[in-house]
Structure 1
């Protein structure tokens, strides 16, 4: 990628020093002076648990552990071998690892890291919350903060102090298999939620047993794959990168992220792991990031054997470290260690670069209190599995639920109705939780908590087993789940059908697909359901938008449930039967067809569809459900927008107020979203951009005045010189169906 102008570094504030004491720095500098090259390089190596473990999960191999920790001096271990471990198993594993470090010359503790993506993924009975895409639907940063605090506590209770989260990639390519880990297609939601989560992980202070080091990932542009396949090439002009993919990481650095994980792919032909421009010039100098840069799985090796930009494995190591990598997730051998030592001795990597990386790693360990006590903390263990976590999981799942269609107010369903529950997700736990759920893929239901409930179970609990029938069997792929003849016969005695379709769990490359269409057996099931003549309510448990265009017109109701964690089933039943009033808002544009995947913040020319000039229409943005869609069981009415001034000048503030009234008969939560439109600009302006949102709670008949404060930064964009600027001119501000106009003057 061409190297371009860098913002003034002196204006940036470093946040990595938060929690770092003078004693930490002194200890680290003292250690560095004592360390040999081998000891330093060992700190930069990270291996997976399988390297030091026996075949049995949670059991270490003493000889292998000694080899890794004493002989190779590895600085970090990550992952599990096959599945989640209990708190007691984690305590034993991490205690044994830290015991072994006492046998090394300098006794430097190991830093353990895990992927706690929507809760503590890899501890049995840990609390799982909605995936990020569901949290984005809540439009509730305070809720995101609360669930993150629990994840941090349960990680720390497991003896783990480093979490590889949150994912800050932008969900604008719905084919991408990591789409559910994103906060959706909007930059503002992504950077707001991301910064909130980073602070929640770290703000208590990393020595505190309620905090863990966060890892913003995957820097940069990982989700923008041309084909949607995981770890495949990205082609992106820098103006797009800076407008859409960099802001989340800029905010995460300001929020205090301790570490960053790098995009496994390549941008414009340059693997990001080899890009000194992105890793040093932009990340370090421009954004001011001072924390640890860690690779993703095996990505330095791939510079040689997949990307073919390094002619030898040693050249790959030198290339990545010189570009700015501090720690290599090797992860299954010690090749990085051997090759980096060779590269330093051959003057291919300067010693200053090694010292720079190791200093950051050791400072992170010091900030985490590992030099004071590297063992699992007893006071942290008391924070695991508290009953209130389950209440919070239900609150989060409730707020994620997004009602997309409710023809004739078919919902809520009377609890006296006779219901047929059908579809592959009806008796699947994995399809409610998705990826990173006690196993990497999340599909093995053996490891889920025993009290986990399916949609079928929660509906039976809600209205009584005698009022519920089903044609389904346990597990998403059970053949009975797709039996159309059985569905037809069972529907005869039902007053309505709840059809549970979507996706089973997947993570990363195993989730690659070639088409967004739902599988044919699910479409056939939907057709059989509506052919019965009974009203059909479609419940979608999916990580990304799968096409339902051919079946949606026949569905009386559509509820998007996402993968919302432990309490997904309960939240679905509460919404369907009226015990919870839905308030979720779609965090992406639900596409209608493969040829019409257009984002909400489209350019004006994307609006136009024409054959001849006289046939021109302005319906280029025509998703099945628009970004921000989401119905309630009550209604809300907006007053006119009130501006504190018709002009915004220089660094001044503009207050935007609107009165919102609950005009229905039920209490309800509602997200008020503020969009702006730049009428004319040197770069074609988007039709609209989300600039702010607030979630409010209104009782039936209640009104509230909601006020937003804007400044020039809320109107800024990246210009052709790659500078983020705000140009003078007229701006529209839109809230719901209301609009007002003001002028910005420099």
Structure 2
């Protein structure tokens, strides 16, 4: 929850991409991470549209600059993707159909793309599959009517890999490859991604010569592409600035990577303040993610699937190596314990645990991306669960470290774990970040961007509808979106609303005092949630509307302020139009809450 750090990370990425001679970066991913089976969940910013929108703007501005001057030698054209609805396939499998009602599409999935467009993003990549039976690459409504006419996007649209041809070969909405090209181009696709297959070019040339694709559409697409190339300065200077190479992987960039990993670390459980660990402890480190660099980085790293372990720089530490560096090798024992599919000398691992003061059990996922990452079961692999349960029965306290791109179900191991740390895919400095948190050199302050399910069939997001928690459907995740513990305690007090009633053109100022009431300095992300108590379309129980990080020393207090407007109270009504309704709303921050009323004129009770 740090947009400044996100913007900085995007700027570093842009610098290093441009230094390598590439002026275009296929990021940010703005799909909503609301289907935990999906193998690209880890590429998203999570399940919430407001959080994703904030990160979208930060990433675009970091990549392109505040003024979107992408001709600058250290900036690139960003590419928001995958437009639209790619991230919630009904089956959970990559590139399979999604079914998203229009209201949900507009309330949840469209806002991050709108924010990126408003931030000046130059390009967009299309959803690789279909929504409601219509493949996105053939969807004129989404690619032209919504993207161009409603959102006002001015850049160019690029296909995803091979997906124009797949309108014919896979989706069966085109009778031939040439018809697929016509459908895509007339729907609004300006560029085919595949660079070394000339069939798109040949088919489009035939279609243009026959008049089936009019020249105005060719001119329009070419003009959009050339405009971005011109804005990038490629006609005047197509080559990279060689001077940039000197600062690739600079120490400042490495420190930013480390800080990003530290801030992401999310402490899910800490029974009796078991963490942080003392540095005089004897530690067993075990599990399949304990001594691999690849799993800290995930897919799209060095290779497509990111699993070429030999390519990773040896100076980047695994979790095991980082713990050894912090304590000294004499205090640390390593046993593999298990790989992702089978246990490895379990009796020896249990014996090593009994000889240690604590067992750090690193479990999670092997590297993957896209379709090879498809799974049939959200439960963590049986071998890893067997390892965790055996060590929990050893009598030695167990700390679970989750290195994973999806919330794999670990419920049987939760109760007896002394602590659980969610590390996600923390990047090249992830090993150091995990060790820093485990041993108290960094106080964790991360908050879950997703809801962590208790079972593989309990897949509900935090902004659920009231019916989803009634007596028969009670929602019961392990941890909700926004959960995250600290080594200190924070006290929220004095929630104040400057008005009890606001009109359509007024703002509501919300303030509260946050105090570090513990013994360790730390950063707390203060989140403001809004609930619409009654409206014409059943409301979510709560929605994130603002967040702010505050760093506090022990005993220090700070006043945190938020401002809401009537735009924060809108939704898409029964007619699928943006709607503002008079009524009562609740603001909640931490364990504090208060209500206010939106008042509209009698003839505008619903607008």
Smaller-chain TM-score range? over 0.9
Partner of 1:527: 389
1:581-627 deviation line (CA, Å, top 9, x unaligned): 000001111000122211110101111123xxxxxxxx722111111
Partner of 2:184: 320
2:339 touches 2:384 (CA, 8 Å); kept in 1?
A: no
The alpha-carbon deviation at position 726 of structure 1 amounts to 1.9
2:9 touches 2:256 (CA, 8 Å); kept in 1?
A: yes
Cα distance between partner residues in 1 of 2:580 and 2:62: 31
The answer on 1:485 being equivalent to 2:339 is: no
Partner of 2:216: 352
2:444 touches 2:487 (CA, 8 Å); kept in 1?
A: yes
Q: 1:478 to 1:607 in 2, by over 3 A?
A: closer
Q: Alignment partner of 2:220: what SS?
A: helix
The answer on 1:495 being equivalent to 2:363 is: no
2:33 touches 2:44 (CA, 8 Å); kept in 1?
A: yes
Cα distance between partner residues in 2 of 1:702 and 1:284: 49
Cα distance between partner residues in 1 of 2:254 and 2:238: 29
Partner of 1:504: 366
Cα distance between partner residues in 2 of 1:401 and 1:317: 45
The alpha-carbon deviation at position 483 of structure 1 amounts to 2.7
The answer on 1:638 being equivalent to 2:486 is: no
The alpha-carbon deviation at position 189 of structure 1 amounts to 0.4
* Aligned with 2:123 (options 243, 248, 259): 259
Q: Alignment partner of 1:641: what SS?
A: strand
Partner of 1:655: 509
Partner of 2:604: none
Q: Alignment partner of 1:569: what SS?
A: helix
* Aligned with 1:604 (options 457, 462, 466): 466
The alpha-carbon deviation at position 167 of structure 1 amounts to 0.2
1:639-685 deviation line (CA, Å, top 9, x unaligned): 13101111111211110000001000111100000001111101111
Q: Alignment partner of 2:63: what SS?
A: helix
Map 1:302-701 onto structure 2 (within 5 A): 302-472=166-336, 482-610=344-472, 620-701=474-555
The answer on 1:174 being equivalent to 2:36 is: yes
The alpha-carbon deviation at position 291 of structure 1 amounts to 0.3
* Aligned with 1:191 (options 43, 48, 53): 53
Farther off after superposition, 725-734 or 539-548: 725-734
Cα distance between partner residues in 2 of 1:476 and 1:326: 45
The answer on 1:274 being equivalent to 2:128 is: no
Farther off after superposition, 428-437 or 313-322: 428-437
Cα distance between partner residues in 1 of 2:8 and 2:594: 35
Calculate the aligned-residue CA RMSD, in Å.
1.3
The alpha-carbon deviation at position 409 of structure 1 amounts to 1.0
Partner of 2:579: 725
Q: Alignment partner of 1:499: what SS?
A: strand
Structure 2 portions without partners, runs of 5+ = 601-607
Cα distance between partner residues in 2 of 1:726 and 1:702: 40
* Aligned with 1:153 (options 15, 19, 28): 15
Cα distance between partner residues in 2 of 1:296 and 1:246: 19
* Aligned with 1:164 (options 6, 9, 26): 26
Cα distance between partner residues in 2 of 1:395 and 1:517: 30
The alpha-carbon deviation at position 540 of structure 1 amounts to 0.3
Q: Alignment partner of 1:554: what SS?
A: coil
Partner of 1:32: none
2:79 touches 2:123 (CA, 8 Å); kept in 1?
A: yes
Cα distance between partner residues in 1 of 2:248 and 2:3: 23
Cα distance between partner residues in 1 of 2:500 and 2:144: 43
Partner of 1:709: 563
Cα distance between partner residues in 2 of 1:264 and 1:580: 40
2:398 touches 2:419 (CA, 8 Å); kept in 1?
A: yes
Number of equivalent positions: 598
Farther off after superposition, 360-369 or 204-213: 204-213
2:340 touches 2:384 (CA, 8 Å); kept in 1?
A: no
1:702-731 deviation line (CA, Å, top 9, x unaligned): 000000000001111111111122211110
1:661 touches 1:704 (CA, 8 Å); kept in 2?
A: yes
Q: Alignment partner of 1:329: what SS?
A: coil
2:339 touches 2:383 (CA, 8 Å); kept in 1?
A: no
2:341 touches 2:383 (CA, 8 Å); kept in 1?
A: no
1:427 touches 1:476 (CA, 8 Å); kept in 2?
A: no
The alpha-carbon deviation at position 383 of structure 1 amounts to 3.4
Cα distance between partner residues in 2 of 1:368 and 1:602: 43
2:445 touches 2:523 (CA, 8 Å); kept in 1?
A: yes
Q: Alignment partner of 2:321: what SS?
A: helix
Cα distance between partner residues in 1 of 2:215 and 2:171: 27
1:487 touches 1:528 (CA, 8 Å); kept in 2?
A: no
Q: Alignment partner of 1:709: what SS?
A: strand
Cα distance between partner residues in 2 of 1:383 and 1:228: 40
Which aligned runs of 4 or more in structure 1 are off by greater than 3 angstroms? 475-479
Cα distance between partner residues in 2 of 1:648 and 1:545: 40
1:464-501 deviation line (CA, Å, top 9, x unaligned): 1110001129x96597x633112112123111100000
1:589 touches 1:626 (CA, 8 Å); kept in 2?
A: yes
The alpha-carbon deviation at position 407 of structure 1 amounts to 0.5
Cα distance between partner residues in 2 of 1:504 and 1:680: 45
Cα distance between partner residues in 1 of 2:18 and 2:193: 21
The alpha-carbon deviation at position 272 of structure 1 amounts to 0.4
Cα distance between partner residues in 1 of 2:213 and 2:434: 56
Cα distance between partner residues in 1 of 2:385 and 2:542: 34
